Each structure stands twice: as structure tokens, then as C-alpha cells.
Amino acid sequence: MNFFEILSGIKIITLSALFAIHSFSYLYTILRNPGIPSRKSFHRNPIAKNGIKRYSYCKFCKIIKNLDIKTYHCHLCSICVEGIFNIFLILLGHDHHCNFLNKCIGMNNLKSFYIFIMSTNVYFGYAIYLIVTI
């Protein structure tokens, strides 16, 4: 084996590994629950410590939502999705409805979505690099 055959084998293995990471992150993102609250969380006692009732009604889902659990309604999926605010009051939960995945990106699958986006960029960047260097 010469140097170029070994190098092409390494490139194929690298491309295959990047494709595997890309595919796994895609499947993990679309199969994971985006943060749809369980029905039990809606039926908890919605009274705060100071005695003020903390609930609202989602007119689309027809459910009573506990305001201690931040939920936002996705009109494309017709579901409520959990969200949280971080210390900078930036919404880190129901990020958006991704049309490419046809899935809500919520609190539970947000990290895997970011891994999917990064792996997509790295995978296609490496594939373009291989095409250009041929």
C-alpha cells in the first residue's frame, strides 16, 4: 500500500464517522420529546406560596397550564411545549418549529438539535473539502 491509498482510506473512514454522527443526532432529535408537559403537571395544585393562583388556559389545547412551568403553544404541531428562561431572560425552551425536521425544538431536544446543526456543517464542509481536493 502506498501513502495515497492509506490517505484515501482515512478520508473514507472520517467521512463515514461524520455521517454516522450526523445521522444519529438527526434521529435523536426527531425521536426525542421536545418538552411536551405531562398531563400530571397540569393538574398539580396551581397555587403559589403567597396564595395567588398561577395558571392559565390554552385555548388551542383546551388545557389548564401551570405558570410555574413555562409552556408555549406551537401552532404547527398543535401542542404546548415546555420552555425555560435562563439568567439573562433569554428563552431556552420552545426555540422554534423546524420545518426541515418537521418537529418542534423544545427544552428536551434543544442540545441534540445544536449537535445536529454542528454535525451537518462539519459533515458537508468535509465533503466539500474532499470534492475540492480531488
Residue range 62-71, pLDDT digits in tens: 777 766 667 7
Q: Which residue has the cell 408537559?
A: 37
Judged by DSSP in three states, 53 sits in: strand
Q: Any idea which of 21-25, 30-34, 108-112 has the lowest mean pLDDT? A: 108-112
In our burial notation (b when 16+ CB lie closer than 10 A, e otherwise), range 56-73 reads eeeeeeeeebbeebbbbe
Checking if the pLDDT of 72 tops 90, the result is: no
Judged by DSSP in three states, 17 sits in: helix
Query: Quick one: cell of 1?
Result: 500500500
Q: Amino acid identity, residue 66?
A: N
Checking if the pLDDT of 9 tops 70, the result is: yes
Residue range 90-129, pLDDT digits in tens: 555 556 788 888 888 888 888 888 899 999 999 999 989 8
pTM: predicted TM-score of the whole model, two decimal places:
0.73
- Give the pLDDT of residue 85: 55
Query: Quick one: cell of 107?
Result: 427544552
